[in-house]
Structure 1
């Protein structure tokens, strides 16, 4: 984990965007750069070169962290805590779909760790900074949460069966459940957590996955018809970053782009309160923190 930035700057409105080296995270950063006079933007990405380039464009500070290592997440949280005294909105936007099943050094299936466990841990470690600010947490989900997502709490790591898109859909469904659990536990302390589907975005998504459907959708001319641009997807994320949590968007909710999701856009498991609780406790166990 590495960092480049400045010093604590008082009560500026602070926005943290993970997954900001490319795709909708980078586009959102560009869109909101300089939007508010009293705004501080902190970007997080895996690629040092790409993250630094986006940070220069946006006039932002940045950190580099690899979510396949939970120690990187802990160092990232310590770095942000040493740099800022408040967070107004945290965008848990980092994620990815991968090819063959891979287990990280922490013992978790890679898709689960990158899309759920690392953001879960980072958010937990930054709770006090969120309480000191506006307390917004927005998790990036996906339409795949509805289409292929089905969480089996006893097999989160897909040891019994594995398919890249299924693992991704499960993890993105889990991101919605994480937002619901976070809001239920900490809403009374000023945390407003929600999740959103930015739309099917034309990015470098799935670069490590070589299945037929991913190639067809993301690496052929069909992508120009079936997918929206990264600029539009980034604009949907920017909506939540510039809006006021609890006022312009509500905690505990799931959004399709920028509007509350309709039942047909939502996986039925989203409303399973028992599953929300079970997933929270299991995520806490896998990240080494006590359930709260």
Structure 2
């Protein structure tokens, strides 16, 4: 059965962390959620743009480069020091990369930026989210992944998460795989969080007219054919963060405002999701509290 996300409500008592908030969908979501009363932690890689967004909405900027796992750990420490409660974590940071490049940690930049670093941040912030859920209205503490319809074209190969094998195709294969990893992560996270009052969702924002593509030909083509504004692209994120209830079980993937969205066949492989989780823990050097 298809369900649709309801309109967002006021969230005056909510603290919401948004990564990738210095531009595009993240910036639009930060503005919208601030107008709804939320305290927004604005996380971005570019110091100037991140500070500008934070200043605009009266928030604090947090600077972190997701190609550096050490920076993600420092970000988590800073957020945990500053925020006694976290109601929503929106893992929105990510991108496409036209060249096959290793990070300083030795992992493929697409895999690390789009999956491994958000996985690490979520794991480090999860105890605070679980604590917040103990006193919050049931169902209002949420973890949100910005995925993509491109997940349907992805394939996750556990012994090649760094995308060493096969053609690079201007980053298309790696990007699609990482967006499928977002869905698998969300589903395994939802499974592990059963009974905790913390829920997890992923969504496709649509093809957004922004600088997100980073020169990727396939993203630029999609934007030309069916581009929507960053504000429109942010709508699912805003609703998932601020709707009083989400009319779909935790673990669902929304295609914009409706669920269930189209996913790759591998997205329904629970064993693959569990093995991706274990491999991510190993690579990030972290153990999950759930």
In structure 1, what is the Cα distance between the partners aligned to 2:271 and 2:281? Answer: 16
Name the counterpart of 1:287: 284
Name the counterpart of 2:268: 271
Provide the alpha-carbon RMSD of the alignment: 1.7
1:214 Cα deviation after fit: 3.8
1:266 Cα deviation after fit: 1.7
1:234 Cα deviation after fit: 1.3
Name the counterpart of 1:242: 242
TM-score by length of 2: 0.88
Runs of 4+ that moved beyond 4 A = none
- Give yes or no for the alignment of 1:74 onto 2:73: yes
Number of residues of Structure 1 aligned to a counterpart in Structure 2: 269
TM-score by length of 1: 0.87
Alignment check: 8 A CA contact 1:243 1:249 kept: no
Name the counterpart of 2:147: 141
Name the counterpart of 2:197: 190
In structure 2, what is the Cα distance between the partners aligned to 1:52 and 1:65? Answer: 12
Please point out which of 166, 171, 184 is paired with 1:177: 184
In structure 2, what is the Cα distance between the partners aligned to 1:155 and 1:278? Answer: 13
In structure 1, what is the Cα distance between the partners aligned to 2:236 and 2:268? Answer: 24
Secondary structure at the aligned position of 1:42 is classed as strand
Alignment check: 8 A CA contact 1:143 1:200 kept: no
Structure 2: gaps spanning 5 or more residues? 1-11, 134-140
1:62 Cα deviation after fit: 1.8
Return closer, same or farther for 1:14/1:215 CA change in 2, 3 Å cut-off.
Answer: closer
Secondary structure at the aligned position of 1:178 is classed as helix
In structure 1, what is the Cα distance between the partners aligned to 2:14 and 2:157? Answer: 39
Alignment check: 8 A CA contact 1:203 1:230 kept: yes
Name the counterpart of 1:160: 165
1:215 Cα deviation after fit: 4.3
Name the counterpart of 2:36: 35
